[in-house]
Amino acid sequence: MAFDFATPVERRHPEGGYASQKWHRYGDDILPLWVADMDFRSPPAVIEALEKRIQHGVYGYGEVPASLKKALCDWSAVHYGWEIEPEWQHWLPGVVPALHFAAQALTEPGDAVLTVTPIYPPFLAVAERAGRIPQQVRLKEPAGPGEPWRLDIDALEAAITPQTRLLLWCQPHNPTGRVWYEEELEALAALVERFDLWVISDELHCDLLLDEGARHRPLAARFPALARRIITLWAPSKTFNLAGLSSACAVIPDAAVRRRFANACKGWLPDVNVLGLIGAEAAYREGESWRQALLSVLREHRATLSRFVARWPGVEMSAPQATYLAWLDLRKAGLGDSPYQALKERAGVALSDGAAFGCPGFVRLNFGTTARELEAALWRLDAVLGPTPQSDAL
């Protein structure tokens, strides 16, 4: 079946006024390549399932259906080689709340929460919001052009103090798009065991590995002896473009940890939206051919982006191994202290500001849009970043 990833969908002024953060935050003159939200319609099977549920007409409190839990068990077994149980699943309306509640559940005041930077910005708020001590370790910058960002295991070990209790981990990594190498994960796992840490493994982008034949292996599956220390976070939201339906799942093999997590969440969170449950199940059951088609499109877009970046003096990018986010180093692009601001003003393109990820001078670019929209934005950037800047022509 052919899926349409080419026709732009109107999200700025759609009929019915379905406002989107991505297209509205910066106004009509700006092309948005920022928040992690794609401009593609979700898989037809998801849309059909939602339409059917809408027709039911009663939208009272829902319940996580056993069939959804089974669908996720099947998806995990088939795609990750990890046999999980339905009762390990705690569905909730988002991954970010899960980060906060997991931190509350697993640590005490006076404990420290460690993460690596750059990182998806909400990670940086978790420790403080929970009243814990924040600890951050920077990843190792690429050793040369096209080289990947690497985990700095020595720095990570050096940062661990007797207070460190929890590691906030992201794989694949937002924003660098890294799929961690075996040796990085083994070194990480050894530290987790040695220092008796809990881990929240945010694997939200794990169904978007771009390299042909690449297969996600959840941290808890790769290191079964550590599984009782790990809360794994998944959601269909990035892969199938369902973020607005608010459904995510914490996978917690250990019954006692599950109870602690459930107690921390109790009373603070609404139930998962009934449509979110329907969308998630349809996506996991019937979304695979759409996902494969999406991956081909994203690979093409990654190649398009790489061709542009190669034209831009002073701009470095290590091509993402996963997801539709690219992490660009603009420190030598001559754009001043805030390349994000400069590109918004001079190119009319909104990217995500690296400063929010703990790395000023960088930007994150979302290439999960149609080829037409992506190229329009890249040409705008080219006018500022390209070999013959023409910013006054904009």
Of 138 and 331, the one with the shorter C-beta distance to ligand PLP is: 138
Can you tell me whether residue 34 is helix, strand or coil? coil
Closest approach of ligand PLP to the CB of residue 356, in Å: 12
Using an 8 Å Cβ cutoff, are 265 and 233 in contact?
Answer: no
- State which of positions 273-312 bind ligand PLP (CB under 6 A): none
120 in contact with ligand PLP (CB under 6 A): yes
The minimum distance between CB 121 and ligand PLP, in angstroms, equals 9
User: Would you say 208 or 343 has its CB closer to ligand PLP?
Assistant: 208
* Cβ atoms within 10 Å of 183's Cβ, excluding its own: 11
Describe the crossing of helices 274-286 and 44-56 by its angle, rounded to 10 degrees.
Answer: 150
Q: Could you say whether residue 201 binds ligand PLP (CB under 6 A)?
A: no
Q: Which residues contact 69 (CB under 8 A, 6 or more apart)?
A: 86, 89
Q: Taking the chain, what is the end-to-end CA distance rounded to the nearest angstrom?
A: 40
Binding region for ligand PLP (CB under 6 A) out of 91-99, 208-216, 326-334, 358-366: 91-99
- Per CB under 6 A, 174 contacts ligand PLP: yes
Closest CA to 210 of 378, 75, 367: 367
Asked if 235 is part of the footprint of ligand PLP (rule: CB under 6 A), the reply reads yes
Q: Any contact of residue 204 with ligand PLP (CB under 6 A)?
A: yes
Report which of 323, 320, 326 is spatially closest to residue 239, judged by C-alpha positions.
323
- Shortest distance in whole angstroms from residue 200 CB to ligand PLP: 10
Q: In angstroms, give the least distance from the CB of 390 to ligand PLP.
A: 33
Amino acid at position 126, single letter: V
Residue among 45, 71, 170, 245 that touches ligand PLP (CB under 6 A):
170
Quick one: which segment of 89-97, 276-284, 335-343, 347-355 binds ligand PLP (CB under 6 A)? 89-97
Minimum distance of ligand PLP from residue 388's CB (angstroms):
35
Residue 237 binds to ligand PLP (criterion: CB under 6 A): yes
* One-letter amino acid of 95: V
- The continuous run of DSSP H or E covering 376 comes out as helix 371-385
Shortest Cβ 22–ligand PLP spacing (Å): 11
Contact pattern from residue 31 through residue 70 relative to ligand PLP, giving x for each residue in contact according to CB under 6 A and a dash for the rest: -----x----------------------------------
Helix/strand number for the chain, H first, E second: 13, 13
Of 16-24, 88-96, 124-132, 255-263: span binding ligand PLP (CB under 6 A): 88-96
Scanning 48-56, 80-88, 90-98, 364-372 for contacts with ligand PLP by CB under 6 A, the matching segment is: 90-98
Least CB distance from residue 248 to ligand PLP, whole Å? 5
Closest to 113 in 3D by CA, of 140, 95, 131: 131
Residues 6+ apart with CB under 8 A from 171: 178, 179, 180, 185, 201, 202, 203, 206, 219
Does residue 156 belong to the site contacting ligand PLP (CB under 6 A)? Answer: no
Angle between helices 371-385 and 288-311 (to 10 degrees): 20
For every residue of 36-93, which 3-state class applies, written as one string? CCCCCCCCHHHHHHHHHHHHHCCCCCCCCCHHHHHHHHHHHHHHHCCCCCHHHEEEEC
Q: Where are the alpha helices (DSSP H) in 64-194?
A: 66-75, 95-106, 122-129, 153-159, 182-194
Contact between 179 and ligand PLP (CB under 6 A)?
no
Question: To the nearest whole angstrom, how small is the minimum distance from the Cβ of residue 391 to ligand PLP?
Answer: 30
Q: Which of residues 354-393 bind ligand PLP (CB under 6 A)?
A: none
Site residues for ligand PLP per CB under 6 A: 36, 94-96, 120, 170, 174, 202, 204, 235, 237, 243, 248
